[in-house]
Amino acid sequence: MLRIEFGTEDLNRLRLAESVHPLWETALSLQLLQNRHGALAFDPWRHKARADLDDEGLTGTTAALMRICPHAEYFPDFLTPRTGDTSLEAGLDAVLSTPRERLGQELGQLYPDRCMPASVRRLAEGDLAALHWLGEALRRFHSVAVAPYQDAIRAEVAADLPHRSQAALTSGAEGLLASYQSELIRRDGTLECAYPIEWELTLDGRPLHLIPSFFCTRWPVTLADPGLPPVLVLPLAPAPGWLDRTRPPSGTLDSLGRLLGHTRAQVLDVLDRPMSTGGIAAELFLAPASASRHAAVLREAGLISSHRRRHQVLHRRTSLGEALLNGDPGTAT
């Protein structure tokens, strides 16, 4: 059971995120590949994600990430940093900026009574090459196991958020908490929810941030370090069959990802209508600078065109980009 000291004054400090966080999704999807939780909803995804990771040569990388983020009662908090910018790149920058002392402490907590693997030990020591590997490994895992399912993730958030917002609008923070009645119970100045261990969290006047998560299952998740900004990650609980109800990555898009890189293929895919650089970044959970770089490469290849409208630069697929995306070699030549 998780118990959070939650008095009346804490209601005014309650915060609800409007989107999932890419690194929480990365960490929790890594854990889902190591268990059978939510089998009806997630087994089809598990099958496809494992196959896609294998096709990308990431099976070994994924296994190495699992040594850092296991399916266990504890995994390191530095993997899910809180940043003002919710893009993947901003999160990765925060991960790679983790102080050496914290790396050693949190990874040491993960391996307290057993031998720490050499690769994990190098990371715990703050080795720059190990940190660079971690950033690239998380980025590549996310691009294959999480990013292709953004349509499904956004659909779940879009279905959930109005319900929460209406509850907050009608009955304030009390109503917002009541809307989570299947997960959260508030009584006697305490907020309680199911948890794999007995754990207590004191807010001490700090706001509690509620974050929706697509890959969170069974019960909410919080950080292990009570000194960090308090968060509570809550399951969106997609219904079984979600993978069939949303457009999965097509064979052409998979092949194009191997040619251009998965992220650039996804950028090309979303540009079926004019979109600003900021729009691309928001759509794909990218940093604006990263979205700009990918757009520049696609533009130089003649796959998208860009034009300025007032204070924005809008991008859209060209006929060549359309043909390449649709797998039409006759048109693309």
Class of domain 249-332: mainly alpha
Burial class (CB in 10 A: 0-12, 13-18, 19+), 299: middle
Contacts of 284 (CB under 8 A, 6+ apart): 147, 150, 263, 266, 267, 270, 291
What pLDDT score does 295 carry?
93
How does the average pLDDT of the chain come out, rounded?
89
pTM of the model: 0.79
The DSSP letter of residue 243 is H
Question: Do the Cβ atoms of 112 and 120 come closer than 8 Å?
Answer: no
* pLDDT tens digits, one per residue of 192-236: 888 889 999 989 889 999 999 999 998 999 999 999 999 999 999
Q: Is the dihedral of CA 255, 260, 266, 272 positive or negative?
A: negative
Regions in the chain scoring below 50 on pLDDT: 248, 333
* pLDDT tens digits, one per residue of 116-169: 999 999 999 999 999 999 999 999 999 999 998 988 999 999 999 999 999 998
Rg (the chain; Cα; Å):
21
The residue ranges of every structural domain in the chain are: 2-17+154-235, 22-150, 249-332
What pLDDT score does 248 carry?
46
Distance CA 285, CA 269 (A): 14
What pLDDT score does 224 carry?
94
What pLDDT score does 161 carry?
92
CA atoms within 13 A on the CB side of 79: 30
What pLDDT score does 250 carry?
55
Report the C-alpha dihedral over residues 203, 208, 214, 218, rounded to 10 degrees. Answer: 40
Distances (CA, A) of 122 to 74, 95, 113, 117: 20, 15, 18, 9
